[in-house]
Amino acid sequence: MKKTFKNLTALFATATLALGLTACGDNTPSKEASQTASTIEQLKQAGKIRIGVFSDKPPFGYVDAQGKSQGFDVEIGKAITKDLLGDENKAEFVLVDAANRAEYLLSKKVDIILANFTVTAARKEVVDFANPYMKVALGVVSKNGEVITDLEQLKDKTLIVDKGTTADIFFTKNYPNIKLLKFEQNTETFEVLRDGRGDALSNDNTFLFAWVKQNPGYTVGVKSFGDQDVIAPAVRKDAADLLNWLNAEIEKLSKEGVLKQAYQKTLLPVYGDSVTENDILVEYK
């Protein structure tokens, strides 16, 4: 009898536990359900937004002497953060390299990429791009006296590129007879150019125009080639609400003159009259 009572007690306890778990499942949000909260709501609850930017691509993204992120992309990031969270200081700028921009998004190390991210079909398979804010094409820079003025001159020569960039992709696909010397960071690629370990370097023309202004002795001999591309903010594919918000935000920043202000603060002092804001900015009316 005692044994039977114990068995019945155990059976009742098991049934009660199962019922309790079922009830919890019906009334308590599961971990999966909690993750369906909108990305924007999650950012507001966190009180910050993590934005991936470059550390070594002035004047678009770089770290100043005080260790703070500066540049054109950073200014846009501050404006986005102010409109989204009410305070530009709630932006947390995370330093990324060209090759790991998508990886940082997918691994949730950042919420938005604003690191001069050129929109391509292949990248669209991995991340979602918002409305673009900048125009860009590829260019080639080389040393004065040995200036490359045509891509055909690069055959059987060494061209320096950053891994994972549009320059890397373009030459790998279209010019297999050009030797590519690839590095992770801009600082490495340009140091190699200065050392003479490569004959030329390819990167976004907007960046190269700025670089030669600060580095006499070099010329952007090939000013534009490939497709006329655009640069845009990127988000994860599970952040549809943030994507939609950013689409409207980029248009707003254009119409209100914020993109123009960012250009005048960060790019105009470098470009001077060699490039105009119409050559750089995507305009929304």
At 234-264, the pLDDT tens digits run 999 999 999 999 999 999 999 999 999 999 9
Calculate the average pLDDT of the chain: 88
Q: Which has more confidence, 123 or 27?
A: 123
How much is the average pLDDT of 94-103?
A: 95
40-133+232-279, CATH topology level: D-Maltodextrin-Binding Protein; domain 2 (3.40.190)
Residue 66 Rama label (left phi>0; alpha psi -120 to 50; beta): alpha
Render pLDDT for 6-45 as a digit per residue (tens, 0 to 9): 444 444 344 443 334 333 333 333 344 344 579 999 999 9
- Check: CATH 3.40.190.10 for 137-228? yes
Q: Where in the chain is the domain with CATH 3.40.190.10?
A: 40-133+232-279, 137-228
Q: How far apart are CA 93 and CA 96, in angstroms?
A: 9
Q: Which two tokens stand for residue 30?
A: 């599961």
Q: Which residue has the higher pLDDT, 171 or 27?
A: 171
**Range 69-91 average pLDDT:** 98
DSSP conformation letters of 101-116: HHHHHHTTS-SEE-S-
In this prediction, residue 36 carries a pLDDT of 56
How many CB atoms lie under 10 A from the CB of residue 217? 9
Share of the chain above pLDDT 70, in %: 87
pLDDT of residue 6: 41
SS3 239: coil
% pLDDT > 90, the chain: 81
